[in-house]
Structure 1
Amino acid sequence: MNLKITTLIFVTIAAILSSASCEKGNSDLDKELPDPIKIELRGSEAEMVKSDQQFAIEFFANVFNEEAAELDKNFMISPLSLSMALAMTWNGADGETKAVMQKVLKLDGYTDQEVNEYYEKLREALLKTDPSTKLAIANSIWTNKNIKIKDDFIRLNNEYFNSTVESVDFSDANSVKLMNKWAADNTNNLITHVLDKTNPNALMYLMNALYFKGIWTSEFNSRNTSSKPFYSEDGQTKNVDMMHQKSSFNYNENQTMQIVELPYGNQAFSMIVLLPKEGNKLADVTQELQNSNSWGNLVSGLRSTQVDLYLPKFKTEYSRVLNDVLEKMGMGIAFEPGAADFSRMTDADAFISFVEQFTYINTDEVGTEAAAVTVVGIELTSYQPDRTATFNANRPFIYIIRENSTGSILFMGAVKYIE
């Protein structure tokens, strides 16, 4: 597997868009660049990369299907950001919750140490492999200062994910400002708002931020960008800024799609564009990607080819709560109060209340700038402030008599007045 393709799944998979084909542009990268630093992987680590790819494609396919059933708008997700945020959370899970989270991440069968060391190595290696490409990966954990968090959970995430830890008062509005500022600081101000408020009874918020800025190895000449039609699947046509160059790129095709690799910088990172062939749709491409070995076969078949390339400039800002997606992928128990087990995180009963991801991408003649922030909210099951409830049946009411073990209702009535 070509590692420079696989190491940044969020850029690769998010590039599923239409393109169709002008003269080669000038590049600021004509000067000599150092070769990419090769990331050496042991056998188990190489298998984990393949597992990451499976997770990415399944994650993408689920969001694709949900979007298709809703507004069917442009979207981008970051599998890497999500998997890191979930892996940090997984370090606090135990029992069945831990097992299903590991299975959803496609990392079942590996020890805790193997999983943590994999993410540590991946994070550190990605940051070093191409000095001409800007990449930042940041992790943080924001904890409720009134509740004890287990030291080992903090240690693991600090050691392997380089997570900063902040103990704050979630009833203080300033906490939200601090967390939003952290998101902005770690995405070059591309994503500045990820939380409207914090739950005073929340246990913690885990956050991952990812920032990428790459310059095309072969830039597009802006003089060759022109207004050309873009045909949507719904039959609509719109004139867009279409970039164009003719150059040598890695290329492959099959009956369903064409695939071209557009490298950044010293070619440690690249964007893969998958274009459905005439008569096929994005859903056909997405379906094929889910087939066993499909992605590996497509990538391994890439060959240097002279390509007359047309690619529209595009920009997407997107956000989505991922609870339903992750439940469909098999992580439902982690969201269930009373059933979720995060006992390696705290002695209090806790569950995942939400997972939300925010993304941004802008692609033009020079290159691509992209960012993602994933937020995992953890709430307490049983922690509630003391309260007194008043039930004053001084007005009409309804009553039900039922058998409790089955829930079978024997009688229902309404008292409208007292005789």
Structure 2
Amino acid sequence: MMRAAVGLWVLSAVICVGRGHHHLGHDDDKTIQDTVVDGSANSVSLVTEANQEFSFRLYRKLAADADSQGKNIFFSPASVSTALAALSVGARGETHRQLFSGLGFNSSLLTQTDVDQAFQRFLQRANNTSQDTTEGTAVFVDNRFKPKPEFLQTLKQSYLTDGFNVDFTNVTESADTINKYVEEKTNGKIDKLVEDLDPNTVMYLISYIYYKGKWETPFDPELTKQDDFNVDENTKVSVDMMNMDDDFYTYHDRELNTTVLQLPFKSSYSMLLMLPDVMATLENGISPNHVTKWLKAMMRPRKHDVYIPKFSIKTSYNLNDVLSEMGMADMFGDRANLTGISEGLRLAVSEVVHKATLDVDEVGAEAAAATGIGIMLMSGFWGPVPVLKFNRPFMVLITERNTEKILFLGKIINPTI
């Protein structure tokens, strides 16, 4: 059963900040405050830019992956980057460098604290300023595994992490516990994030995101008709095609040969639909700068007769190979350095999984995603203690270890005679 690990978050020591006797005047105070604010804002900006770039780099990796050919691609870069950033809290050495580099964080300009504070702002903003979206993280820790208190405290403070104790020796029950949590947080959209747990799992870190928004101008269901959708030159499928004749914000990007349609929700969110002449041109060229340019260029709406299919898709990814190809390989193997989580045990990431859903209809859109990171012991330390009973005839040998010289050798049939 899942139980909230209330004690998990209690630090055993109080951290005190020493204060000198030098008295700062009001001008000095203001200068320091302005510097801190400017530095913090700059860090948030740098992390934001990195997250945007990561979104398209990860997309291109997924699109190029053999398993994605001929399939829909849909994922939440925000969920993936949040989960990996939370993991980086416990990474050290080359493993940490790879995570920062893979996420696009410039380690000469950003410290771990900068990144943590930026994600704290992102999560607080998402949950405080919008009724449409919910984001968060959680960590599930084995009953017998004791992570560093400072690691858990950073997750709690910066990533707003819920903490729970579970028994990972019972893989079925613990997987059900994680899945039920994710299902609840994503309004039932992601109901089975964890398929198979590694029996050596001692910690499972997840991030989730749920969004539901209503179109600013909804489509009229009476105008939705069956129509063809061209999958490729040789394949057509029948879809429910929504239709609206109205003023829309659009932009044609000549560089990418792509027409962009903006569908605003009743909030600060919008959906951008991109219709390219050649998909590869858009996929290989799109960047955060394009999105910025499109939104700025959409100054006034123009009359269009718009057709969009209703659809509902689900996607599922194991990101181990993709993230390794993006430079984050060490965390998955013998070279993993996760000593920021625990120094006494050799830990590695067993899996990074991601699932997402998107539903689009006349009323609006609903989207959800979750990312799971399994953290395991490199040996079966937590497995059941094997029972070894010498309760039948056995052999015995006494040797000198260095020379392997056998001093005694025998067989015991009855130890009482």
TM-score by length of 2: 0.77
Which secondary structure state, in structure 1, belongs to the residue aligned with residue 308 of structure 2?
A: strand
Q: Distance in 2 between matches of 1:235 and 1:325?
A: 30
Asked whether 1:162 is paired with 2:160, we answer yes
Which secondary structure state, in structure 2, belongs to the residue aligned with residue 227 of structure 1?
A: strand
Aligned counterpart, 2:12: none
Which secondary structure state, in structure 1, belongs to the residue aligned with residue 158 of structure 2?
A: helix
Which consecutive residues of structure 1, in runs of 5 or more, have no partner in the other structure?
1-40, 390-419
- Given that 1:363 and 1:369 are in contact with CA atoms closer than 8 Å, whether structure 2 keeps it comes out as yes
- Shift of the alpha carbon at 1:159? 0.5
- Given that 1:119 and 1:160 are in contact with CA atoms closer than 8 Å, whether structure 2 keeps it comes out as yes
Matches within 5 A, 1:48-67: 48-66=47-65
Q: Distance in 2 between matches of 1:234 and 1:146?
A: 57
Which secondary structure state, in structure 2, belongs to the residue aligned with residue 51 of structure 1?
A: helix
Aligned counterpart, 1:211: 210
Aligned counterpart, 1:46: 45
Aligned counterpart, 1:231: 230
Matches within 5 A, 1:376-415: 376-384=373-381
- Given that 1:251 and 1:303 are in contact with CA atoms closer than 8 Å, whether structure 2 keeps it comes out as no
Ranked by relative contact order (alpha carbons within 8 Å, sequence separation 6 or more), the top structure is: 1
Amino acid at match of 2:75: I
- The farther-off stretch of 361-370 and 380-389 is 380-389
- Given that 1:83 and 1:105 are in contact with CA atoms closer than 8 Å, whether structure 2 keeps it comes out as yes
- Shift of the alpha carbon at 1:236? 0.6
Q: Distance in 1 between matches of 2:276 and 2:294?
A: 13
Aligned counterpart, 1:23: none
In the alignment of these two chains, the number of paired residues is 340
- The farther-off stretch of 172-181 and 76-85 is 172-181
- Given that 2:123 and 2:136 are in contact with CA atoms closer than 8 Å, whether structure 1 keeps it comes out as no
Q: Distance in 2 between matches of 1:248 and 1:328?
A: 44
Which secondary structure state, in structure 1, belongs to the residue aligned with residue 84 of structure 2?
A: helix
Aligned counterpart, 2:272: 272
- Given that 1:97 and 1:341 are in contact with CA atoms closer than 8 Å, whether structure 2 keeps it comes out as yes
- Given that 1:203 and 1:378 are in contact with CA atoms closer than 8 Å, whether structure 2 keeps it comes out as yes
- Given that 2:219 and 2:362 are in contact with CA atoms closer than 8 Å, whether structure 1 keeps it comes out as yes
Q: Distance in 2 between matches of 1:382 and 1:218?
A: 57
Amino acid at match of 2:337: D
Aligned counterpart, 2:360: 363
Asked whether 1:145 is paired with 2:146, we answer no
Which secondary structure state, in structure 2, belongs to the residue aligned with residue 113 of structure 1?
A: helix
Q: Distance in 2 between matches of 1:98 and 1:388?
A: 39
Aligned counterpart, 1:345: 341
Q: Distance in 1 between matches of 2:188 and 2:217?
A: 27
- The farther-off stretch of 311-320 and 199-208 is 199-208
- Given that 1:252 and 1:303 are in contact with CA atoms closer than 8 Å, whether structure 2 keeps it comes out as no
- Shift of the alpha carbon at 1:298? 3.5
Aligned counterpart, 1:82: 80
Aligned counterpart, 1:354: 351
- Given that 2:355 and 2:371 are in contact with CA atoms closer than 8 Å, whether structure 1 keeps it comes out as yes
Percent same amino acid among aligned pairs? 26
* Coordinate RMSD, CA, aligned: 2.0
- Given that 2:264 and 2:270 are in contact with CA atoms closer than 8 Å, whether structure 1 keeps it comes out as yes
- Given that 2:200 and 2:379 are in contact with CA atoms closer than 8 Å, whether structure 1 keeps it comes out as no
Aligned counterpart, 1:14: none
- Given that 1:169 and 1:200 are in contact with CA atoms closer than 8 Å, whether structure 2 keeps it comes out as no
Matches within 5 A, 1:296-311: 296-306=292-302, 307-311=304-308
Aligned counterpart, 2:369: 372
Rate the CA distance shift 1:230–1:197 in 2: closer, same or farther, 3 A: closer
- The farther-off stretch of 136-145 and 153-162 is 136-145
- Given that 1:75 and 1:316 are in contact with CA atoms closer than 8 Å, whether structure 2 keeps it comes out as no
- Given that 2:89 and 2:340 are in contact with CA atoms closer than 8 Å, whether structure 1 keeps it comes out as yes
Which consecutive residues of structure 2, in runs of 5 or more, have no partner in the other structure?
1-39, 389-417
- Shift of the alpha carbon at 1:190? 1.1
Which secondary structure state, in structure 2, belongs to the residue aligned with residue 232 of structure 1?
A: strand
Q: Distance in 1 between matches of 2:97 and 2:70?
A: 33
C-alpha distance after superposition, 1:34-65 (max 9, x if no partner)? xxxxxxx9233223222111000111111111
The structure having more radius of gyration, on CA atoms, is 2
Asked whether 1:320 is paired with 2:317, we answer yes
Rate the CA distance shift 1:200–1:232 in 2: closer, same or farther, 3 A: closer
TM-score by length of 1: 0.77
Matches within 5 A, 1:178-189: 178-189=177-188
Q: Distance in 2 between matches of 1:162 and 1:122?
A: 11
C-alpha distance after superposition, 1:83-117 (max 9, x if no partner)? 11111111110111111101111122311121111
